[in-house]
Amino acid sequence: MPADFAAENAHLLVVDDDARLRALLQRFLAEQGFRVTSAADAAAARGALAAMAFDLLVLDVMMPGESGLELVESLRREGNDVPVLMLTARGGPDDRVAGFEMGADDYLAKPFDPRELALRIRTILRRAAPPAPNLLPQAPVQLGARWFDAERSELRGPEGTIRLTGGEAALLATLARRAGEVLSREEIAAALGTPEAGERAVDVQVTRLRRKIEPDPREPRFLHTVRHRGYVLRPGP
């Protein structure tokens, strides 16, 4: 994904049961240079996802029928790793963490400034793009029987390619670039472009990533917690 892709070519799916807000977001985001499709609920979103490929979902949490949280959890379970930015009128820490636990990439509380929404969308899209060559690890990183290729944002093993969400790939690339070095939660959040998400959100992302890279996530071999300091990735066979 080239650097200007996020600003000029990204196709967004906006899912919100509030018709007025949906129309406002569609118009504003189109003015920002995005291609925008909208859906009124999770069922309509599923239909759109089956028919078209999207670069990012802007997804309301509270909708009649299947909620946004239920939809994103279902997408992740099905192996769909499209980036998701969740919108909600409930913006407390527990609500944000719940979104990250389901597999969301970012979380924005209502009411919000549309300019902040556009900024966060661009941040997520840049994060999902391959890092600049000078920021990549020199070679794929070995994690037991699996290898992480940061240039392709791919985790591969004997079973084939293991799907990573944009947030998981960005987290693993951040840790791999500084393998063997302890990174604080604040440093990790800043590198991921979500400094306001808080330490618990980083912990949730680490927990999700361990499920993908560790033989036993309860006894990590590669992604270690360093008490009172943060996390460190220690690659190896």
Instruction: Identify the pLDDT of residue 5.
Output: 45
CATH number of 133-233: 1.10.10.10
Confirm if 60 and 88 have CB atoms less than 8 A apart.
yes
DSSP symbols for 165-183: -HHHHHHHHHHHHTTTS-B
Q: Where are the domains of the chain?
A: 5-128, 133-233
Pairwise CA distance, residues 39 & 121, whole Å: 18
Instruction: Identify the pLDDT of residue 233.
Output: 96
DSSP symbols for 194-211: -GGG-HHHHHHHHHHHHH
Place of tokens 């029987």: 145
Crossing angle of helices 93-102/68-77, nearest 10°?
30
CATH architecture of 5-128: 3-Layer(aba) Sandwich (3.40)
pLDDT in tens, the chain (237 residues): 443 444 457 899 999 999 999 999 999 999 999 999 999 999 999 999 988 889 999 999 999 899 999 999 999 888 888 999 999 887 666 777 778 888 888 888 888 999 999 999 998 888 776 555 455 556 789 999 999 988 778 899 999 999 888 788 889 988 998 899 999 998 888 877 766 666 777 888 899 899 999 999 999 999 999 988 999 999 999
pTM of the prediction? 0.64
Instruction: Identify the pLDDT of residue 117.
Output: 94
Confirm if 137 and 179 have CB atoms less than 8 A apart.
yes
Region of 103 please: left (phi>0), alpha (psi -120 to 50) or beta.
left
Instruction: Identify the pLDDT of residue 88.
Output: 86
- Look at residue 54 and give its three-state secondary structure: coil
